Amino acid sequence: MTWDWSAVRDFMPRFGDGVVTTLEILALGSLISFTLGLVWALAFRAPTRFVRWPVNLITEFIRTTPLLVQLFFLFFVLPEWGVKFSALTTGILAIGLHYSTYTAQVYRAGIDAVPKGQWEAATALSLPAHRTWFAVILPQAVRRIAPALGNYVISMLKDTPLLAGISVLEMLQQSRLAGASTFQYTEPLTVVGVAFILIAYPASLFVRALERRLVR
C-alpha cells in the first residue's frame, strides 16, 4: 500500500463540503445545547416539583441513552408521526438535545457554586427574579463554567461522525463516499483524522486559556 497524493487532491472538494457540514453541526449543536441546557438547569430549580421531577426524568433518560440510538429514533421514527426533517436538521437537533443534558449539569454546578450571599443581596434589594438570574447569578455562574462548556463542544466535535449513521454528509461520511468510488480509503480517512486534530487541539488550548483567565 502506498500513499497517493492524487487521491488526497481528488478528495479535497468532498472534504471541503464535509468540513463545512461538520462545523455547521458543531456550531448549531452547541447553540442548542447551551440554550436548552440553561432551560433545563432553570427548570431543576423550579418552585414546583411538577416541573422539577419530569425535567429530571427526561434529562436523565436522554443523558443515559446512546446518542446513536437517539439519532436513529429521531430519523426513522419521527417521520412515522408526521414530523419530517432533513437528515442534517435531525442530526443537529439530536446532538444539541443530547448534549443539552450534559450542559444542564454544568450549569447546575455553576449556579450552585454562586455564594448564597449573592441571592440574599438580590433579595435585600428586592430585585425581581429575572434580574436576579440574568444580571447577578448567571453571569457569575457562566464565568466559572465556560471552560467546562468548551470541553463539551470538543467532545461534541468528536461525536459528529455519528451523524454519518443517518447519512449526513459530514467529514467521515464524505471520506467513506470518496473511498467507495475510488477504492482508496487510506488517504481520505487520514485527512479526516488529521482535520479532527487540527480543529480539536487548538480548541482545547483555547479552553485551557479560558480556564486560566476566568476560573480563579
Nearer to another protein (CB atom), residue 87 or residue 142? 142
Considering only residues 50 through 69, tell me which ones interact with another protein, judged by CB under 8 A. Answer: none
List 20, 83, 121, 215, residue binding another protein (CB under 8 A): 121
Q: Which residues contact 107 (CB under 8 A, 6 or more apart)?
A: 37, 38, 40, 41, 141, 145
Q: Which window, 112-120, 145-153, 164-172, 199-207, contacts another protein (CB under 8 A)?
A: 112-120
Q: How far apart are the first and last CA of the chain?
A: 52
**Total binding residues for another protein by CB under 8 A?**
17
Instruction: Count CB atoms within 10 A of the CB of residue 30.
Output: 20
- Position of cell 483555547? 206
Check binding of 46 to another protein (CB under 8 A).
no
Instruction: Name the minimum Å distance from CB 147 to another protein.
Output: 17
Q: Provide the 8-state DSSP code for 166.
A: G
Q: What is the C-alpha separation between 142 and 183, in angstroms, rounded?
A: 48
Which of 63-71, 118-126, 165-173, 192-200 is the region at the interface with another protein (rule: CB under 8 A)?
Answer: 118-126
Whole-angstrom distance, CA of residue 53 vs CA of residue 32 = 22
Q: Find out whether 153 and 210 touch, Cβ atoms under 8 Å.
A: no
Beta carbon of residue 131, minimum distance to another protein (angstroms, whole number): 5
Residue from the set 45, 84, 131, 158 that interacts with another protein by CB under 8 A? 131
Q: How far is the CB of 114 from another protein (least distance, A)?
A: 10
Distance CA 187, CA 194 (A): 11
Q: Which is nearer to another protein, 109 or 136 (CB)?
A: 136
Instruction: Output 16 or 139, the one with its CB closest to another protein.
Output: 139
- Reference 18, options 155, 172, 176; nearest CA is 172
CA-to-CA distance for 124 and 95, rounded, in angstroms?
Answer: 41
State yes or no: residue 83 binds another protein (CB under 8 A).
no
Applying CB under 8 A, does 45 fall inside the site for another protein?
no
Site of interaction with another protein (CB under 8 A) = 115, 117-118, 120-121, 123-128, 131, 135-136, 139-140, 143
